Structure 1
Amino acid sequence: MSAFAEFHDELRSVARELLGKAGDGPVPWDAVARAGWPGLAVPEEFDGAGAGVAEVALLLTEAGRAAARTALPSVLALSVPALLAVGGDALRDEVLRAVVAGRRVPVVVLGSDSPFGEGGTGATASDSAAFRLAGGRVTGAAHFVLDAPTADLLLIPARDAGGDAVLAAVDPDAVTCTPVPLVDATRTVGSVTADGAEPRAVWRFERPFALGARAALATACDSLGIAEAMLDATVAYVRVREQFGRPVGSFQAVKHACADMLVRVTVAGHLVAEAVRALETSAPGAEISAGMAKSYATEAAVAVAGSAMQLHGGYGYTWESGIHTYLKRATLDRALFGTPAAHRRILAARYRA
């Protein structure tokens, strides 16, 4: 266990350094590939590291902490698990190896503007499919697809004529991908429309692929990283910022505000950790844990970032502080894949039933 914890500490340290170097710019994909992160959860038979959900969650949290501009979360949280959930063939295996080598950036076409309908975080690929496969061609549309404009291969969950879930590998040139403008400059989003697109390959799912739970957990991890970064930055600032001849951190009101931020971050951390454990072990109710983590962590990140801006005073409202970047990212996280209120309605419905 100590060696495992040591590996996590090393991974966290490297991630914090590499992602932090990018600053406000995009994280170079070749640097991400050299670090071995795209293949972190890919089995060793495909040249990957064979790591689990815990290691992926760690990187997703660090991406949020750095407000990183990268498609890595989409690849780690959805694309790789989707490819591993389908029946393998030569092309599927080649794509996995290309992801590990950094030659491919596949993105699952999943609209992020709803909590997956009635399926909630328990939705599978079939439940969430907005596309149809008929006559060997893909038709449908998905709005607000994270990282779609930067993908070089689109993985489209669809239903065939028999209603079974399939994953269609489609070149971006075969569909219409319209970039969606965002206030959050750290992410790219596109609206994807397929009108009889011919896929390069169609794979059938051999086991359930919990799209909802994985997307919810990834967003919760990102929000946890945002909240941690804002708490650390605020505590450091109020220790050195002086007012009336003393650090503002010595004022009782500021202490209470920081304590409230810490409570939110701590609770979010526990909920995310429980969701990671449940998904890692495929425990019953894993989708419930993911929904709880998503609902609380994304709301907490907005509150913590808002408090950070307030406690930084006038400096917090300037472009140089960087807090606006985190607040915008946290606000988008809160809306992605269903609002906290939408997830709470789904969770409450289980108790009513």
Structure 2
Amino acid sequence: MSEFSELHDELRSVAADLLAKGTVDWPLLVSAGWIGLDAPEEAGGAGATFAEVAVICEELGRAAATTSYLGGAVLAIGALNSLQPNVSRDALLQAVVAGNTRTVLALPGTGGPAPFDLATTRLGWWVHGRASFAPDAAGAQRLLLPARDADGVAVLVDVAVDAPGLTVTEQPVLDETRRLATVTAEGVEVDEDAVWKFDGDTEEQLRKLTDRAALAVACDSLGVAQAMLDTTVSYTGVRQQFGRPIGSFQAVKHACADMLVTISVARQLVRAAIAAPEPTAISMAKAYATEAAVEVAGKAMQLHGGIGYTWESGVHVYLKRAALNRSLFGSPAEHRAKISARYR
């Protein structure tokens, strides 16, 4: 990725400036061109790769920004890109990139990746199932439901959020910067042309979607951890104790150095997973980076002293986000179990 380092630095700088302005709504994400970063050019996208998407994910974590980027862009575009081209799919992809239709992949944050069942009867096609902790499903106009047909083959089903039998219920979580929801389908009737097949091996494509989600969260956690280190170094450089900055004390120096080392390891693992997105590398990045963010945010709160525990400091926002990231799309223990299973 070295040949793209200048592009990534520029993208990171623009993202940081944009996110520093405060509230980042959906139209602003569309106008910035972030929604269709890795969508094909013929669909109106930039034709970039996940490496560029990862830069945005990291900056969103660094700013602890409240957006619908994870579900409405990272997962939605990834899902549409993984499907066999057809008229309906192509039209929706173009509408998503243009910002005309808010579409979200109802990928559960915990549990199996295809929690819905597609039943075919002489009366039509019906979808049943439930996805919990689906990012950004609330507020979307259309949902892509990962389902299995009667033969157990994974497909994506395109449904409108106001379809009879479909309910989207927001799930309150400790982290107020993310919006998660439960999507329940109780006999939702769909047309045959709304059932879309994956392009290539269906199980591999479904796995790639869950891996993409896990890696995006790892990138977000990397941004969270970096923000906490930067904030802590800045604070300890100005906070006076016994007539000098507390950052000059050896114990504080060692704590900040430990945070830096932890983040450096996490960054290397995330970069390796982006460069070669195979399951083991992604599980290593997700397990380490999300756990590291919780550790770094916890140390940041301690090094801020009493003010770190106040609502005004803002450290709690990052700690809550890091804690949720650690659980979404596989806990560190679950990902380590995946890694160990590959070597048995």
- TM over 0.5: same fold? yes
Q: Secondary structure at the match of 2:36?
A: coil
Matches of 2:180 and 2:45 in 1, distance apart? 28
The structure 2 residue matched to 1:149, chosen from 138, 147, 157, is 138
Secondary structure at 1:150's aligned position in 2? coil
Give the aligned partner of residue 282 of structure 1: none
Aligned-pair CA distance for 1:70:
0.7
Q: After TM superposition, which residue ranges in structure 1, 4 or more long, deviate above 3 angstroms? A: none
Task: Note if contact 1:157-1:165 (Cα within 8 Å) is conserved in structure 2.
Answer: yes
Letter in 1 for 2:211: A
Q: Larger deviation: 13-22 or 266-275?
A: 13-22
With the length of structure 1 as denominator, give the TM-score of the two structures: 0.91
> Is structure 2 residue 169 aligned with structure 1 residue 178?
yes
Matching residue of 1:9: 9
Residue of 260, 263, 277 corresponding to 1:262: 260
* 2:210 partner SS: helix
Contact 2:78 2:209 in 1 (8 A): no
Q: Which residue of 2 aligns with 1:187?
A: 178
Amino acid at match of 1:13: S
Paired residues, number: 331
Hey, what does 1:129 align to over in structure 2?
114
Matched to 2:184, the amino acid is T
Decide whether the 8 Å contact of 2:51 with 2:274 is kept in 1: yes
Q: Matches of 1:247 and 1:333 in 2, distance apart?
A: 33
In 1: Cα distance, 2:167 partner to 2:34 partner: 29
Q: Tell me the equivalent position of 1:216.
A: 214
Per the alignment, residue 107 of structure 2 pairs with 110
C-alpha distance in structure 2 between counterparts of 1:218 and 1:205, whole Å: 21
Aligned partner letter, 1:134: A
What is the SS of the residue equivalent to 1:57? helix
Q: Distance in 2 between matches of 1:7 and 1:53?
A: 14
Following TM superposition, by how much is the alpha carbon of 1:72 offset from its aligned partner in structure 2, in angstroms? 0.9
- Structure 1 regions of 5+ residues with no counterpart? 117-127, 280-285
Cα distance in 2, alignment partners of residues 202 and 91 from structure 1: 10
Distance 1:150 1:36 in 2: 20
Contact 1:109–1:192 (8 Å) recurs in 2: yes
Superposed, 1:219-230 pairs within 5 Å as 219-230=217-228
Match of 2:52 in 1: 55
Cα 1:250–1:183, aligned 2, differ >3 Å: closer, same or farther?
same
CA distance in 1, matches of 2:257, 2:21: 30
Report how far residue 225 of structure 1 moved.
Answer: 0.5
Whichever residue aligns with residue 34 of structure 1, its letter is S
Distance in structure 2 (CA, Å) of the matches to 1:2 and 1:250: 35
Residue 339 of structure 1 is matched in structure 2 by 331
Please state how far the C-alpha of 1:316 moved relative to its aligned partner.
0.8
Q: Deviation string for 1:174-233 (max 9, x for gaps)? A: 211111111110001111110111236111111232122111101100100000100011
Q: Contact 1:56 / 1:76 at 8 angstroms: preserved in 2?
A: no
Asked if 1:96 corresponds to 2:93, the answer is yes
C-alpha distance in structure 2 between counterparts of 1:293 and 1:3, whole Å: 22
Give % identity: 56
Task: Give the deviation of 1:3 after TM superposition.
Answer: 6.6
How many angstroms apart in 1 are the aligned matches of 2:267 and 2:292? Answer: 11
What secondary structure does 1:198 align onto?
A: strand
- Report the RMSD for the aligned CA atoms in angstroms: 1.4
Task: Give the equivalent residue in structure 2 for 1:39.
Answer: 36
Q: What is the distance in 1 between the residues matched to 2:45 and 2:56?
A: 16
TM-score by length of 2: 0.93
Give 1:162 shift.
2.0
For residues 5 and 350 of structure 1, what CA distance do their matches in structure 2 show?
32
CA drift of 1:350 comes to 2.1
Matches of 2:292 and 2:241, distance apart in 1: 28
Counterpart contact for 1:171–1:199, Cα < 8 Å: no
The one-character-per-residue Cα deviations of 1:288-318 (angstroms, maximum 9, x if unpaired) are 1000000000000000000111111111111
In structure 2, what is the Cα distance between the partners aligned to 1:350 and 1:2? 30
Residues 115, 146 of structure 2: 8 Å contact kept: yes
Matched ranges for 1:278-289 at <5 A: 278-279=276-277, 286-289=278-281
Trace 1:309-328 onto structure 2 (pairs within 5 A): 309-328=301-320
Equivalent residues of 2:70, 2:136 under 8 A apart: no
Give the unaligned 5+ runs of structure 2.
none
For structure 1, which segment, 329-338 or 84-93, has the greater mean C-alpha deviation from structure 2 after superposition?
A: 84-93
CA distance in 1, matches of 2:335, 2:177: 25
